[in-house]
Chains A and B, each alone.
Chain A
């Protein structure tokens, strides 16, 4: 059993244990808070597509949307109305699927152990019947329809589709009609057996928690004594080396044109998750230096009316992909795209001013401390980082040590990265 107790300068303790059953357990004690938050996650996401099981040489390919389907099916028990059991305990439960994981989470202001028991029962008792599968296919079909009307989400997938040719990051989390049709009981059983094993699980808890009680509950629950061996699934990840597809344009019922620009980044092969997380922050700091609310270049864009308050940017760095994205609304779309491209191209000439850099770091550190005023936000941040094997406190310490010279060399990469553009434009006015 490995154990780390993290005492930090901001007065928060993190208990981390890898238990004998394989479960990784993270606890943030918040003794003064009433709310308790719990998240259980497994590394099975929408980009978990091609997988090798243990030493076997054959590759298993899951249909697009399998992880999300499985997430829905966890709540679909014939024996037990799971959500009702949570609600009767005064707990609210929900779940989400991202590109790299599936998570079930709940919060409660009553006893934690009772609600944890329902969570463990839910996973231990998961069973997939034909009628349950048919029902969820109908509901997920409507969920997919709902998101088709969500322009920002559609743009995001359009951009990934343009930027990548052969990377499962571009898979829609819920899948589509065709991939939903491929999902059946055998696929769900295999995915469940491969991923919902204690060796794959991470449990993150925050709130007023009795750690010994939690560990005792885990020790005597059947979920953590699986009768089947661990299949040891390993995701096959390859960096997508293709050049981007051509830009994409859609004509839609809009009041303003929308732009999503992507810059492909190629994180160094062999970087640890900790290094990738820091690389993400470094790129974000660099973009903040030109597109942040305090940047001169950004003020210039505002004064020329090429961006408005909706402007936003983000960076993601993973071992198998990396990109920065810029979102803008505009009434003069070509001018805006050109202006954003110009700023990117001029990046190598824009210095990182030491004084501004210190201010950016202060903001990041201040915002980080504030997260711990909310049990749920803290639990979400800890889950994000531990799921990726990132120690968030050492990450913050690394950020505190950054100097302008650490990020300046990245300017070249951002300026030279292939740029892809998705534009959603207004229908021409009918006369």
Chain B
């Protein structure tokens, strides 16, 4: 595996060459500020751009072209990392050596990526009205349908409640309350700004001719001088004054419970790896303390697990709970966390947690998408690709004392309960 970086006057091309995969992955990423004012624009923009190009002026034609290229996959996304908004255009495709008939897949992929991002189908300088309205409707309906998936609906709710004045309360997928007011003009302005102001990074992962990629990349990477600062850690917070408990009503058989904790620990911090180990010990496996205590011994829940958001430095405990047992489960979670200290964390728990983390690190090398993500995060947080052994060594070095320090950093912030007040026993 070899890694090379090319600078195009501020815009970057990162090439990770590996012969492990039958596919090649290109990812063009635009990095701007995550701001309330442009959330909807940046959520909808990749949907509209991937809906029509000048040469392939409908989603149907674009899809036909992708299918013809042996199921080439065009994926777009908008995410929030730290205080940044990242709009990504990804193309995954088969390496031509595995194809039954010769096709210049790399050339086709670069041409398509360039067309999607830089040559959209416009009419009188505007996005096509029909396409814009259709994609906006799809996005509104997708956000509305989030209500049907109670786990993800409750997650959006606790974000609003726990972070009332922080950017983290917004979903990078868009905000329903303001989305219907979005116009084609606003979207076009956001598009121009993305082209003119965002930092650009192009990633290529797989087996390819690096020199050719470098030539092809020119069209996608414009010079960038005097770039705005980038912040990959979201340290926004609020004055903390006790735990906020919110109970909301819904038509559910089983209550949903989420408990949110702030840690103040971010990927650059000394306690970052201890926090990873702690999170695994607490709730990130079926050997975890919460799972063992609440499901296996208490039979109070079928699913209970933690989620750690590294760039925000928060941990959530998610659980599905029998109607009427909410308080018992909240108390049990409090007890598990209170009792998680030097006396109760066993060597075996630490060893299992480290094995699991080690496995996850090693496996990130086995999937082309995971290789890309690891490289991207390494560059964000460390400005260089970090060898797997280095990450594993950091995990191995974590001591019991470090884990307890990370545990002492947990501050319980919000308890969110979603239940049906009419049901229950």
- Whether A363 pairs with B20 at a CB distance below 8 angstroms is no
Please indicate the chain A residues that have their CB under 8 angstroms from the CB of B20 in the complex: 32-33
Cα(A9)–Cα(B97), bound, Å? 11
- With A109-B363, A142-B302, A373-B22 already in contact, the answer to whether A305 and B254 are too (CB < 8 A) is no
In the complex, residue of chain B having the shortest beta-carbon distance to the beta carbon of A9: B100
Does B3 sit at the interface, judged by CB under 8 A? Answer: no
Cα(A186)–Cα(B401), bound, Å? 50
In the complex, residue of chain B having the shortest beta-carbon distance to the beta carbon of A288: B67
Does B362 sit at the interface, judged by CB under 8 A? Answer: yes
- Whether B94 pairs with A146 at a CB distance below 8 angstroms is no
Cα(A293)–Cα(B348), bound, Å? 51
Cβ distance B267 to chain A, nearest Cβ, rounded Å: 23
Cα(A35)–Cα(B365), bound, Å? 9
- Whether A139 pairs with B295 at a CB distance below 8 angstroms is yes
Please indicate the chain A residues that have their CB under 8 angstroms from the CB of B339 in the complex: none
In the complex, chain A residues 351-392 whose Cβ is within 8 Å of any chain B Cβ? 356, 359-360, 362-367, 369-370, 372-375
- With A84-B352, A88-B348 already in contact, the answer to whether A362 and B141 are too (CB < 8 A) is no
Cα(A108)–Cα(B358), bound, Å? 10
- Whether A33 pairs with B322 at a CB distance below 8 angstroms is no
- Whether A308 pairs with B253 at a CB distance below 8 angstroms is no
From B22, B67, B147, B359, give the contact of A370 (CB < 8 A).
Answer: B22
In the complex, chain A residues 225-272 whose Cβ is within 8 Å of any chain B Cβ? 252-256, 258
From A107, A329, A362, give the contact of B145 (CB < 8 A).
Answer: A329
In the complex, residue of chain A having the shortest beta-carbon distance to the beta carbon of B287: A87
- With A146-B320, A293-B63, A363-B71 already in contact, the answer to whether A88 and B22 are too (CB < 8 A) is no
- Whether A149 pairs with B253 at a CB distance below 8 angstroms is yes
- Whether B67 pairs with A359 at a CB distance below 8 angstroms is yes
- Whether A373 pairs with B348 at a CB distance below 8 angstroms is no
Cα(A369)–Cα(B24), bound, Å? 13
In the complex, residue of chain A having the shortest beta-carbon distance to the beta carbon of B251: A253
Cβ distance B295 to chain A, nearest Cβ, rounded Å: 7
- Whether B253 pairs with A145 at a CB distance below 8 angstroms is yes
Does A409 sit at the interface, judged by CB under 8 A? Answer: no
Cβ distance A28 to chain B, nearest Cβ, rounded Å: 13
Interface string of B330-371 (1 = CB under 8 A from A): 000000000000000000100110011011001101111000
In the complex, chain A residues 278-329 whose Cβ is within 8 Å of any chain B Cβ? 293-296, 298-299, 302-303, 305, 308-310, 329
Does A83 sit at the interface, judged by CB under 8 A? Answer: yes
Does A332 sit at the interface, judged by CB under 8 A? Answer: no
Please indicate the chain A residues that have their CB under 8 angstroms from the CB of B67 in the complex: 294, 359-360, 362-363
From B58, B59, B150, give the contact of A149 (CB < 8 A).
Answer: B150
- With A92-B285, A293-B59 already in contact, the answer to whether A366 and B72 are too (CB < 8 A) is yes
Please indicate the chain B residues that have their CB under 8 angstroms from the CB of A83 in the complex: 286-287
Does B142 sit at the interface, judged by CB under 8 A? Answer: yes
In the complex, residue of chain B having the shortest beta-carbon distance to the beta carbon of A373: B21
Please indicate the chain B residues that have their CB under 8 angstroms from the CB of A110 in the complex: 355, 359
Interface string of A1-44 (1 = CB under 8 A from B): 00000000111000000000000000000001111000000000
Please indicate the chain B residues that have their CB under 8 angstroms from the CB of A305 in the complex: 137
Does A135 sit at the interface, judged by CB under 8 A? Answer: yes
Cα(A251)–Cα(B144), bound, Å? 17
- Whether A92 pairs with B58 at a CB distance below 8 angstroms is no
From A34, A84, A252, A359, give the contact of B365 (CB < 8 A).
Answer: A34
Does A130 sit at the interface, judged by CB under 8 A? Answer: no
Does A215 sit at the interface, judged by CB under 8 A? Answer: no
Does A143 sit at the interface, judged by CB under 8 A? Answer: yes
- Whether A308 pairs with B98 at a CB distance below 8 angstroms is no
- Whether B352 pairs with A88 at a CB distance below 8 angstroms is yes
- Whether B359 pairs with A108 at a CB distance below 8 angstroms is yes
Please indicate the chain B residues that have their CB under 8 angstroms from the CB of A369 in the complex: 22, 70, 94, 98
In the complex, chain B residues 296-327 whose Cβ is within 8 Å of any chain A Cβ? 299, 301-303, 320, 322
Does B35 sit at the interface, judged by CB under 8 A? Answer: no
Does B75 sit at the interface, judged by CB under 8 A? Answer: no
- With A88-B348, A142-B322, A373-B21 already in contact, the answer to whether A256 and B141 are too (CB < 8 A) is yes
- Whether A293 pairs with B302 at a CB distance below 8 angstroms is no
Question: Can you spell out 13 A-B residue pairs with CB atoms less than 8 angstroms apart?
Answer: A9-B100, A87-B355, A139-B295, A142-B301, A149-B252, A253-B251, A359-B68, A360-B67, A362-B71, A363-B67, A366-B70, A369-B98, A373-B21
In the A-B complex, the 8 residue pairs with the smallest Cβ-Cβ separation, listed nearest first, are A366-B70, A366-B71, A253-B251, A142-B302, A90-B355, A363-B67, A363-B71, A255-B144
Residues of A at under 8 Å CB distance from B? 9-11, 32-35, 83-84, 87-92, 107-110, 135, 138-139, 142-143, 145-146, 148-149, 151, 252-256, 258, 293-296, 298-299, 302-303, 305, 308-310, 329, 331, 356, 359-360, 362-367, 369-370, 372-375
Residues of B at under 8 Å CB distance from A? 19-23, 58-60, 63-64, 67-72, 92, 94, 98, 100, 130, 134, 137-138, 141-142, 144-145, 147-148, 150, 250-254, 285-287, 295, 299, 301-303, 320, 322, 348, 351-352, 355-356, 358-359, 362-363, 365-368
